[in-house]
C-alpha cells in the first residue's frame, strides 16, 4: 500500500516536471520554449545580461527589425541617427516603429547610445559616472533624463547590480551612432 502511494507520488511529480518543461510550444505560439536560468554570480557580466534582459533596456535602446525582433547588430546603440520620429498625436503620447523615440507632454526624447563607443556612446564614462546617472537621473553633462527612461525603477538597485549592468554594457560592441539631443533635455548642476 505504502509502496503504491510512493510510486503514485513519484509518478505525479514526474508528470509535474514534464508539464513545466514542455519540449515544444503549441502550434501557432511564436515564442521559444522558456527555461529557468541559474542566477549568475553577483556583479558579473553574465548577471548584468540577466538584469538588462529583466530591465527591458533593449525595448527602448535597441532598434527593431521589421518583424519587431531586436536588431542585434545595433544592440543598445539607441535611436538611429536617421531614424523615424514619433508622430504628433493630439491628446496622447507616441513612439516610432523602432520604439527608440518618444513624444509626450515633456517633448521628444530619444533613447541614447549606451554602447562603449567613445564619441557617440558612453565609452568615456567611468563606473562612477554611470552609477551617479542612474541614482540621480542626471547624466555627466548635467542633463535631466526624461521619460520614458525609468530612472525611478532603477535608481535604488543594489551597488552590485549596477556594477553588473555596467560590466555587461562595457562588454558590448561599440556602435558609432550619434543619437542627437532630446528636445526635452533640461540641464541642472550635476552633484
Ligand atoms: C521605456 C524606455 C527605456 C527603457 C526601458 C530604458 N531606457 Fe535608458 N533611456 C531612455 C531614453 C528615452 C533616454 C534618453 C532620455 C533623455 O534624453 O532625456 C535614456 C537614457 C539612458 C541613459 C543616459 C545616457 C546618456 O548619454 O545620458 C542611460 C545610461 C540609460 N538610459 C541606461 C539604461 C539602462 C541600463 C536600462 C535598462 C536597465 C535602460 N536605460 C532602460 C529610455 C529607456
165-174: pLDDT as tens digits = 999 999 999 9
Domain that holds residue 98: 41-124+159-179
- For residue 148, is it within any domain? no
5 vs 87, more confident: 87
Q: Please indicate whether residue 76, judged by its CB atom, sits closer than 6 Å to ligand 1.
A: no
- Category of 95 on φ-ψ map: left (φ > 0), alpha (ψ -120 to 50) or beta: beta
Residues present in the chain in total: 191
Nearest to 94 by CA among 145, 148, 58: 148
Cell numbers for 45: 557580466
Nearest to 57 by CA among 35, 77, 37, 28: 77
Q: Please indicate whether residue 119, judged by its CB atom, sits closer than 6 Å to ligand 1.
A: no
Characterize the bridge pairing of strands 94-95 and 143-144: unpaired
pLDDT at position 9: 47
Q: Please indicate whether residue 58, judged by its CB atom, sits closer than 6 Å to ligand 1.
A: no
Q: Please indicate whether residue 98, judged by its CB atom, sits closer than 6 Å to ligand 1.
A: no
Q: Which residue has a Cα nearest atom 7 of ligand 1?
A: 149
pLDDT at position 12: 46
pLDDT at position 191: 61
pLDDT at position 15: 47
Mean pLDDT over 145-156 rounds to 97
124 vs 9, more confident: 124
- For residue 101, is it within any domain? yes
- For residue 26, is it within any domain? no
- For residue 131, is it within any domain? no
Mean pLDDT over 74-87 rounds to 96
Three-state secondary-structure class, residue 109? strand
Q: Is the pLDDT of residue 180 over 90?
A: no
Q: Please indicate whether residue 179, judged by its CB atom, sits closer than 6 Å to ligand 1.
A: no
Q: How far apart are CA 82 and CA 140, in angstroms?
A: 25
Characterize the bridge pairing of strands 107-110 and 186-187: unpaired
Q: What is the pTM of this model?
A: 0.88
pLDDT at position 21: 57
Mean pLDDT score of the chain? 89
- For residue 173, is it within any domain? yes
Q: Is the pLDDT of residue 112 over 80?
A: yes
- For residue 187, is it within any domain? no
The sign of the CA dihedral 131, 152, 57, 145 is negative
- For residue 73, is it within any domain? yes
Report how far ligand 1's centroid is from the alpha carbon of 87 (Å): 20
Q: How far apart are CA 77 and CA 59, in angstroms?
A: 12
pLDDT at position 181: 76
Q: What is the DSSP letter of 151?
A: H
- For residue 190, is it within any domain? no
Amino acid at each position: 500500500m505504502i509502496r503504491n502511494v510512493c510510486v503514485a507520488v513519484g509518478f505525479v511529480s514526474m508528470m509535474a516536471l514534464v508539464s513545466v518543461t514542455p519540449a515544444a510550444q503549441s502550434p501557432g505560439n511564436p515564442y521559444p520554449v522558456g527555461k529557468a536560468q541559474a542566477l549568475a554570480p553577483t556583479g558579473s557580466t553574465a548577471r548584468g545580461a540577466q538584469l538588462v534582459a529583466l530591465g527591458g533596456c533593449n525595448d527602448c535602446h535597441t532598434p527593431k527589425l521589421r518583424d519587431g525582433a531586436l536588431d542585434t547588430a545595433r544592440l543598445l546603440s539607441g535611436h538611429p541617427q536617421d531614424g523615424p520620429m514619433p508622430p504628433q498625436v493630439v491628446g496622447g503620447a507616441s513612439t516610432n516603429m523602432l520604439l527608440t523615440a518618444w513624444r509626450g507632454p515633456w517633448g521628444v526624447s530619444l533613447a541614447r547610445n549606451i554602447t562603449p563607443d567613445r564619441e557617440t556612446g558612453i565609452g568615456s564614462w567611468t563606473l562612477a559616472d554611470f552609477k551617479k546617472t542612474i541614482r540621480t537621473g542626471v547624466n555627466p553633462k548635467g542633463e535631466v533624463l526624461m521619460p520614458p527612461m525609468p530612472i525611478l525603477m532603477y535608481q535604488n538597485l543594489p551597488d552590485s547590480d549596477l556594477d553588473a549592468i555596467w560590466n555587461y554594457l562595457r562588454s558590448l560592441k561599440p556602435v558609432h551612432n550619434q543619437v542627437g539631443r532630446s528636445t526635452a533635455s533640461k540641464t541642472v548642476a550635476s552633484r
